[in-house]
Structure 1
Amino acid sequence: MPPNVNKALEFIDAAHREDPNIVQVNGESIPYELHYAQKMSKYLDLHTPYADPLLVTAARAQHFRRWEVPRDSYPRTKAGYLAWRAFLKKRQAEQVRQLCLESDYSTDEADKVAALVAKEDLKKGEGKGDPDAQIIEDVACLVFLDDQFDGFEKAHDEDKIVSILQKTWVKMGKRGQELALAMDLSDRAKELVGKALAG
């Protein structure tokens, strides 16, 4: 990666390391958002090897300082959830844009990364929006299935989980769907994915 991209990634990971939420990964304690960012980078490499540096930056910066605005800071309603997500996307995009400028990205480059973090030009279906935004969406969906789904599934009834999986599926492009089907999921996750795709 170019020096300015390496500099940005170092800044991004330094912020992720400040996340007070710790998870255990292979016997090692790691801040959750750093773990999440590493998963985003892993699945980006699988999805799009040799991705553009701006895409690499945006993937690594997903959830940037998200822990500072917890879900419970908004009402536990659908409207509250949507408002929380909208605020986070705008906040994260602005913070990452500034970080990119401080890392010697051009204004256009910083704007592009910010747009990807905010998923500004994401439209369902192949070829309808920014292809890079679709890649970020695919990668985020893959990380959800790999890293978050089993815990999430236990907290909700089956009908809701199947509905969420169906919505997740249609968000993904063809490449993302191919990788999802090839994932080594738990038996329960495979069962629910099967029900979602059959519905």
Structure 2
Amino acid sequence: MQANKFERTIEEFDVINAQDPHKELVNGAEIPKELVYGHRMSGMLLEFDPDASEALRLAARCQHIKRWAIPREDYDMDRKGYLMWRTRLKKFHGELAGSIMEKQGYSQDEIKKVDDLLNKRRLKTDPEVQALEDVVCLVFLKYYFDDFIAKHRDEEDKLVDIVQKTWKKMSEKGHEAALAMSHSNEALSIVKKALS
């Protein structure tokens, strides 16, 4: 059976992310970091919103497509530099995903929808943009927060601040999903401090 355009597009996103030179250890195997991230995003989206639209499923999978091409080190290591880097990345992800979608036969409207999702346009008014933001936050809390804690163990205020900022971006449904997850004792203690 021939793959449909959605499957072909997802496959192309994965082929690109499989080129990530940075690796992550998953079940004892070294796997390209952004390939792992894309799969985690898709998995979390299916859990969080099983009826997610095709556009939302595409955006979740390519949220970090080829992220390594624009290194954080290329920008000043302050808040302004961070925001400039993030803005450049979102534009890049949207353009790259759009070119792949166009090649696979998606319409300009469908491409624009994914671009809007990746660029978090209308975050508080578009339920799909909000759902993607929730999934990004949930993936961070589930898979990356403990490593982040380990790196910043002596900066509890910073950790609490990160959780508070993450919480602000999330919907009520996102909050419920985050609290229903199992967390390490350390992570749970920081979440509790952030929410108290």
Paired position in structure 2 for 1:84? 85
Deviation at 1:173, TM superposition (A): 0.7
Q: Is the counterpart of residue 149 in structure 1 residue 145 in structure 2?
A: yes
The answer as to 2:62 corresponding to 1:66 is no
CA distances 1:41-83 after superposition (whole Å, capped 9, x unpaired)? 1110111003111110000000111111111110101110011
Kindly provide the amino acid, as one letter, of the partner of residue 175 in structure 2: Q
TM-score normalised by the chain length of structure 1: 0.94
Note the C-alpha offset of 1:33.
0.3
* Structure 1 unaligned spans of 5+: 124-128
Question: For residue 126 of structure 1, what is the aligned residue in structure 2?
Answer: none
Determine the C-alpha separation between the residues in 1 that align with 2:47 and 2:24: 24
One-letter amino acid of the structure 1 residue matched with residue 126 of structure 2: D
**Residue 196 (str. 1) matches residue 179 (str. 2):** no
Give the secondary-structure state (helix, strand or coil) at the position aligned to 2:25.
strand
Alignment equivalent of 1:187, drawn from 160, 185, 188: 185
Q: Give the equivalent residue in structure 1 for 2:4.
A: 3
Alignment coverage as a number of residue pairs: 192
1:51 and 1:7 mapped to 2: Cα distance? Answer: 18
Identical pairs, percent: 44
- Taking structure 2 as the reference length, the TM-score comes to 0.95
Distance in 2 (CA, whole Å) between partners of 1:175 and 1:17 is 32
**Structure 2 CA distance for aligned equivalents of residues 50 and 131 of structure 1:** 13
Query: Superposed, which structure 2 residues align to 1:1-199 within 5 Å?
Result: 3-123=4-124, 129-156=125-152, 157-198=155-196
Which structure 1 residue ranges, 4+ long, deviate > 4 Å from structure 2? none
**What's the secondary structure of 1:75's corresponding residue?**
coil
| Distance in 2 between residues matched to 1:86 and 1:188, nearest whole Å | 32
SS at match of 1:170: helix
TM-fit CA distance, 1:154:
2.4
Deviation string, structure 1 residues 146-191 (Cα, Å, up to 9, x no partner): 1111111222300011011011111101111111001111110000
SS at match of 2:87: helix
* 2:187 maps to amino acid: A
Aligned partners of 1:45, 1:55: CA distance in 2, in Å?
10
Q: Secondary structure at the match of 1:67?
A: helix
Q: How big is each residue's C-alpha offset from its partner over 1:24-43, in whole Å with a ceiling of 9 and x where there is no partner?
A: 11112210101001110111
